Amino acid sequence: GWSLHLNSLEKIPENFNPEVGWSLHLSRVKKVSKGFRPIVDCNLYLESLEEIPEGFNPVVGKELHLSNVTKVFKNFNLKVGRDLHLENLKEIPKGFNPTVGNHLYLTGLKKIPKKFNPLIGGNLYLTGSLNTDANYTRLPENYMFTWQNGKYIQVDNTISKVISKKGNIFKVKGIGL
């Protein structure tokens, strides 16, 4: 229901896909498998991860810390409820346009591709002259985050699993409960 701290873990076990009601700390993990898709209501810390495998698509309600990642795969379109930290990303591949509820940190970039246009609720943080070259679209007011084709939604800053839906009425269960 709360945080899960696995800071001494260096490798993710096969089929390890936790649902965590608060934060998941995996600070020493350097590599994750394609099938690693945790559901984390608040923060996911993967500070030692260097490269993101194709298919990596976690559900993260608040902050995703990928501070050491230098490379992401083509068409990596992640959704993060609040902040996405990719401070060491060196280049943006074709089709990388994440949706971020608040801030996107890309301070390690050297250039921005012309078609880069993420959906951001707050600010895009870049280095120096790149700030003038960057395009991004402002997240619409009252945007509802959904993941895995509507299986998970974020309402009132909390991620919930959708049990059923009729029109715009949802029956949900909180993560980790």
37-92 pLDDT, tens digit per residue, is 999 999 999 999 988 888 888 999 999 999 999 988 888 889 999 999 999 998 88
What pLDDT is attached to residue 132? 61
- 83-97: string of b/e by CB count within 10 Å (b at 16+)? bbbbbbbeebeeebb
CA–CA distances in Å: residue 133 to residues 93, 100, 104, 111: 16, 19, 15, 9
C-beta separation of 150 from 171 below 8 A: no
pLDDT value at 148 more than 70: yes
Distance, in Å, from the CA atom of 157 to the CA atom of 143, rounded to the nearest integer, reads 11
Q: What is the pTM of this model?
A: 0.90
Q: How confident is the model at residue 168 (pLDDT cuts 50, 70, 90)?
A: confident
CA–CA distances in Å: residue 119 to residues 12, 24, 60, 65, 82: 30, 25, 16, 18, 12
4-45 pLDDT, tens digit per residue, is 999 898 888 888 889 998 999 999 999 888 788 999 999 999
Q: Which two tokens stand for residue 76?
A: 């990596």
